[in-house]
Amino acid sequence: MEELKLIPEIRFPEFEEPLAALKLGDIAKFSKGKGISKADIVVDGEIECVRYGELYTHYNEIIEDVLSKTNLPLDELVLSEKNDVIIPASGETELDIATASCVLKSGIALSSDLNIIKSSANGVFLAYYLNNAKKLDIAKLSQGISVVHLYGSQLKTLKLNLPIIEEQQKIATFLTSIDERIQLLEKKKESLEDYKKGIMQKIFSQEIRFKDEDGNDYPEWEEKKLGDIGYFQTSSVNKLSNKDEKEVYLVNYMNVYRHEDINNISKKGFQIVTAKDSQIETSNLLKGDILFTPSSETPDDIGHSAVIFEDLDNTVFSYHLIRFRPVMKLNLLYSHYFCNIPSVARQLSRFATGSTRFTISLGNFSKVKIHIPHYNEQQKIASFLSSIDDSIEQVTQQIEHSKTYKKGLLQKMFV
């Protein structure tokens, strides 16, 4: 029965050899990095370097393009050899510290608080293996409470089940190719987001204009204050419960702040609170309403918004939000986009008052100026920007699919 445990669920067909049960200390030697503080990092440094904190924030299983550089003397540094695997020697939690990366270049300076593992295994394979199948086992080896430590003497006792080096190489190449695809998709998404940001700036500054079906210009845009085209309403609905009131669904601050698609959230995703009939009447949500966050810790973070695309029955908004209800006809998607342009954000930031927490009054929200195009041009703008959003969403789904696929493989290729 024990032999069966050493056969991965997914395996390349040309490999049939049982995995070798051994300890990391049987195939590796351990050492530590040296020096390199944050102050030692310089933009024009001559020596590439890796600091332990970057394993948490910047790198994954492979380190090839190095983030930081230093000009420290070589005799004060510990330099990598190709295929080294590094793991933090200290961290905040046991799981955090179980983070392995393979250095693909020699001559990279490795900072203190890094365990350096030089092994006869394929380093890329080992990094994937340690980060996934052995993450919990590594976490159990660590010691400490407020700061967790991990030593080479502990790592050498880690039990492994390793395939032969040729199979390690093939697994490493395969997983690397999946990560490269994910990285390409993430760059594509970033490029689309940058394109959208740039094109929105040109559209809302009217550098780019749309024409009607006959190729004619639409009328000039009209400058309006939000208070001229609608009105703002606060809510008195909170999370308190009163048995004499009616149960309603509550849209809260974080629903809007996190840019959740409120129109597609299952009613199970909303909080249930109680409210009086008068509160429900004044705090309801109808098609075309826009919810804003009127407060934040910084003035630049005020004004997150969500447009309501359908009447939301038996649903109210929290007293931590304000509702804007237009009285003129606006394209719903256009409403979503104009609420998120830099000129609106700058005005909201300027109107914010406070010290530890900043807020905007209804009166100041009403003073925010926007430019309103003809309704038909609103539709064209919304349709164009929506097509970009659709492309971004498509790439986002491809990224998630690839990550899910990779996760499934990692669970089945290692034991």
| Judgement on whether residues 233 and 333 belong to the same structural domain of the protein | yes
Residue 1 falls within a domain, yes or no? no
The H-or-E segment that residue 202 falls in is: helix 165-204
pTM here is 0.82
Whether residues 329 and 405 share a domain: the answer is no
Distances (CA, A) of 343 to 142, 203, 337, 347, 348: 51, 12, 12, 6, 9
259 and 308, same structural domain?
Answer: yes
Question: CATH no. for residue 152?
Answer: 3.90.220.20
Regarding whether 255 and 196 lie in a shared domain, the answer is no
Q: In this structure, are 360 and 252 located in the same domain? A: yes
Q: How many CA atoms lie within 13 A of 123 on its CB side?
A: 25
Same domain for 24 and 155?
yes
Residue 257 token pair: 């702040």
Examine the domain organization and report whether 244 and 211 are in the same domain.
Answer: no
Q: How far apart are CA 390 and CA 401, in angstroms?
A: 16
Is 414 within 8 Å of 132 (Cβ atoms)?
yes
Is residue 256, in this structure, part of any structural domain at all?
Answer: yes
Q: What is the C-alpha separation between 208 and 76, in angstroms, rounded?
A: 57
Is-contact 61 100, C-beta < 8 A?
Answer: yes
Residue 192 belongs to a domain: yes
Q: How far is CA 185 from the centre of its chain?
A: 14
Number of domains comprising the chain: 3
Same domain, 357 and 412: no
In this structure, the number of other CB atoms found within 10 A of the CB of residue 173 comes to: 12
Answer yes or no: is 144 within a domain. Answer: yes
Same domain, 355 and 393: no
Q: Is residue 64 part of a domain?
A: yes
> pLDDT tens digits, the chain, 415 residues: what are they?
344 457 888 999 999 888 999 999 999 999 999 989 999 999 999 999 999 889 888 999 999 999 999 999 998 999 999 999 999 998 888 888 889 999 999 999 999 999 999 999 999 999 999 999 999 999 899 888 778 899 999 999 999 999 999 999 999 999 999 999 999 999 999 999 999 999 999 999 999 999 999 999 999 999 999 999 999 999 988 766 566 678 899 999 999 998 877 777 666 678 888 888 888 899 999 999 999 999 999 999 999 999 999 999 889 999 999 999 999 999 999 999 998 898 999 999 999 999 889 999 999 999 999 999 999 999 999 999 999 999 999 999 999 999 999 999 998 999 8
Q: Last residue of some domain: 114, 142, 162?
A: 162
**Same domain flag for 359 and 378:** no
Is 357 in the same domain as 392?
Answer: no
Residue 12 lies in a domain: no
| Cβ pair 251, 320 in contact under 8 A | no
Task: Give the sign of the dihedral formed by CA 248, CA 254, CA 260, CA 261.
Answer: positive
Query: Which CATH number characterizes residue 189's domain?
Result: 1.10.287.1120
Residue 323: which domain range?
222-371
Is 231 in the same domain as 363? yes
